[in-house]
Amino acid sequence: MTQQTKPRTKKAQLIQVLSRKAGADVVTISAKFGWQPHSTRAALTGLRKSGYVLEAEKPGSGKPLRYCIVNKPAVDSV
């Protein structure tokens, strides 16, 4: 059995979190990285500017938007 290494950069960690099938919401991302919500949204914008396509999904009444990566750029600069 091989051991997976953790991504080193916060950007790589964020990509890993958003690559999950369920994605993540701003509150979850903020708690994981110790960021303020506005910093989390700025990081999502940075990924979009890097060529990632993010999808925001409203899971239900009263629940926050969940973000997930639906398409990665051809050349990944993590």
Write the pLDDT tens digit of every residue in 14-25: 999 999 999 999
β-pair partners for 78: none
Q: Are 60 and 45 in contact (CB under 8 A)?
A: no
Distance from the first to the final alpha carbon of the chain? 26
Q: Which residue has the tokens 């890993």?
A: 16
Q: Which of 46, 45, 40 is nearest to 64 (CA)?
A: 40
Q: Are 68 and 56 in contact (CB under 8 A)?
A: no
**Residue 9 contacts by C-beta under 8 Å, 6 or more apart in sequence?**
78
pTM: 0.82
The confidence band for 13, taking pLDDT boundaries of 50, 70 and 90, is: very high
Write the pLDDT tens digit of every residue in 42-76: 999 999 999 999 999 988 888 899 999 999 887 65
